[in-house]
Amino acid sequence: MNPYVLSILLMGLGLGTTVTFASSHWLLAWMGLEMNTLAILPLMAQHHHPRAVEAATKYFLIQSAAAATILFASSTNAWLSGQWDIQHITHPLPTVMITIALSLKLGLAPLHAWLPEVVQGLDLTTGLVLSTWQKLAPFALLLQISPEIPLLITSLGLISMLAGGWGGLNHTQLRKVLAYSSVAHLGWMMVVMQFSTSLTALALLMYVIMTTSAFLTFKLLKSTDMNSLAMSWAKTPSVTALAPMMLLSLGGLPPLSGFLPKWLIIQELTKQELGLVATVAALSALLSLFFYLRVCYCLTFTSSPNNLAGVAPWRLESKQISLPLATSTSLSILLLPISPAILSLTLPLF
């Protein structure tokens, strides 16, 4: 893509999220969300492939519907309470509508059906942007509202965890697997939102780090399905050795960093007398762990016992900058021993 066009689009993306972060008026927040949507659409369709165009179209329709609902709900709130302030939504009707609209924007179950198909149609870099950057602005709004409707929030969270877990089980396409993993992680973030917004922010931070590492790993290995992962041990032995750790961290296994948000969220839930919800949440993580484990199997655990000199693929030097991958993989594996420091990153946020 023309670098000037690319820079304008990326600046638009950055500006949109920044505007939403900085806004206290609903219309300005809505404007930031729309800027994000519009800026990412050309990025999605940049390869002019029919599948990419389809993904861009689906994304546009979903996000516009959600943004329109946000506009409607904030107008309703203005009618009912006389002001447009983001943090002063007290009436339950606009609160519920905005929560549902933001869940549609994020891809929380039961409004998640668009996410796998859209991510599948994109190349890995745009998929990364969609899975990480585009989640920040809606979460900023959700965390500011802190909706106090326990039934809605908890059920959104639990259903997301279960839908993300069960939905990802039968896929071989890596982008769909990462989309369902996104849904499941969003469920974890939602379920604790009414009790501790800083834990939601922590879960979001850890999710962004781990997902960045996952997308960058698959980009380096130039593989989009599980079959093509099988020869990665010949291309990059070190990535092949570390990627299972990153994937198991996504699955939430101790002593990797992915365990930290799950541990703290379960602790918060038990403090709030929601032991059964905590147990269901913990066990639903096993569903997602199964498909992460399957990717690990394809990637590393079935690698050949010797170096097969005859059948190795061409080992061309990769042009990808390795620093982001190295940083995000190290962070996604090693952060658990410094948990208090990581928690303090998000504790003062709210």
Q: List residues near other proteins by CB under 8 A.
A: 237, 241, 244-245, 248, 253-256, 259, 263, 266-267, 270-271, 275, 278-279, 282-283, 285-286, 289-290, 293, 297, 300-303, 305-307, 336
* Smallest distance, other proteins to C-beta of residue 175, A: 24
Beta carbon nearer to other proteins, 166 or 297:
297
Beta carbon nearer to other proteins, 93 or 241:
241
* Smallest distance, other proteins to C-beta of residue 246, A: 12
Q: What is the DSSP string of 219-284?
A: HHTT-SBTGGGGGHHHH-HHHHHHHHHHHHHHTT-TTSTTHHHHHHHHHHHHHTT-HHHHHHHHHH
Beta carbon nearer to other proteins, 105 or 171:
171
330: part of which helix (H) or strand (E)?
helix 323-334
Q: Is 107 left (phi over 0), alpha (psi -120 to 50) or beta?
A: left
* Smallest distance, other proteins to C-beta of residue 320, A: 23
Beta carbon nearer to other proteins, 212 or 288:
288
* Smallest distance, other proteins to C-beta of residue 203, A: 16
The CA radius of gyration of the chain, in Å to the nearest whole number, is 20
For residue 25, give the 3-state DSSP assignment: strand
Q: What are phi and psi of 123, to 5 degrees?
A: -75, 170
* Smallest distance, other proteins to C-beta of residue 283, A: 6
Instruction: Please name the residues in contact with 69: beta carbons below 8 A apart, sequence gap of 6 or more.
Output: 97, 98, 100, 101, 104
> Pick from 147, 143, 210, 150: which is nearest to 181 by CA?
210
Beta carbon nearer to other proteins, 24 or 279:
279
Beta carbon nearer to other proteins, 87 or 306:
306
* Smallest distance, other proteins to C-beta of residue 153, A: 20
